[in-house]
Chain A
């Protein structure tokens, strides 16, 4: 089942600071400008069900297994379209908003990229 899906609409000028740290930061439409500067904006709005370890996050065709989900990550995604993806291979989150996925190179994100959570 597709739990969440959004199409990338804008990429902030400072997104690379987070990518260099192995992190993708997503926000939904309507994020304040100072957050949009650091984030990938998308048009996804609705989270179906709960975000869980074992789900899969896909950036276009590149898919990563979810290993750990922080306690506020689901609410962030549901309320704000906000997702913090750490491509670090960790099975325990460091921060409550984190979603840890398999370690790997972060796929290229461009306008129109589809970001999807399946589970």
Chain B
């Protein structure tokens, strides 16, 4: 039997001006991806979550995975479009910017699936 990759969990809390959460991010063998939808490569927040959990960060502007394989989406949304699309698709969502539920898709954004204003210190490893 091949060795199975071990993943760890992180707790992500809202930053000072942020909203929502906390979320527990737990990549799994069939859900390993940290989906970075910020452009300009892998954002440091997505990279930090990948490093801590053992998940695999990928750039949504370069490649694609099924939503069912995505442990969390990291966005830098200004509050209208991306903020609602990933919660609507059933994907846990971290916004780097300190946004609150807004935009035409605001009804999908809940404290259980969304956290915002997240900086590096708002991500902690848990057992």
Which chain B positions have C-beta within 8 A of A96? 78-79, 97, 99
**Which A residues lie within 8 Å of B38 (CB)?**
79
CB of A32 within 8 A of CB of B104, answer: no
Q: List 12 A-B contacts (CB under 8 A).
A: A18-B80, A18-B81, A21-B103, A25-B80, A31-B61, A34-B67, A35-B81, A39-B81, A84-B80, A95-B102, A97-B79, A98-B79
Selected interface stretch from A2-10, A58-66, A69-77, A110-118: A69-77
**CA–CA, A39 and B80, complex, Å:** 11
Interface centre among A25, A30, A35 (most CB of B within 10 A): A35
Minimum CB–CB distance for B11 against chain A, Å: 25
Is B5 an interface residue when CB atoms closer than 8 A count as contact? no
B39 touches A (CB below 8 Å)? yes
Pairwise interchain contact B89-A34, C-beta atoms closer than 8 A: yes
Q: Which residues of B come within 8 Å of A, CB atoms?
A: 37-40, 60-62, 64, 67, 76-82, 85-86, 89, 97, 99, 102-105
- A70 to B67 CA separation, bound complex (whole angstroms): 30
Q: Does B77 contact A97, Cβ atoms closer than 8 Å?
A: yes
Closest chain A CB from B80 CB (angstroms): 5
Besides the known contacts A21-B104, A34-B85, A34-B86, 11 further A-B residue pairs in the complex with CB atoms under 8 A apart? A18-B80, A23-B103, A25-B80, A30-B62, A32-B60, A35-B37, A35-B81, A35-B85, A79-B39, A79-B40, A84-B81
Inter-chain contact A30/B78, CB cutoff 8 Å: no
B97 touches A25 (CB 8 A): no
A contacts, CB < 8 Å to B: 17-18, 20-21, 23, 25, 30-35, 37-39, 70, 72-73, 76, 79-80, 82, 84, 94-98
Q: In whole angstroms, how far apart are the Cα atoms of A72 and B98 in the complex? A: 11
A97:B80 contact, CB within 8 angstroms: yes
Contact of A97 among B39, B67, B78 (CB under 8 A): B78
Distance of A17 Cα from B85 Cα, bound (Å): 12
Known A-B contacts A18-B104, A79-B39, A79-B40; the reply to A95 vs B79 at CB < 8 A is yes
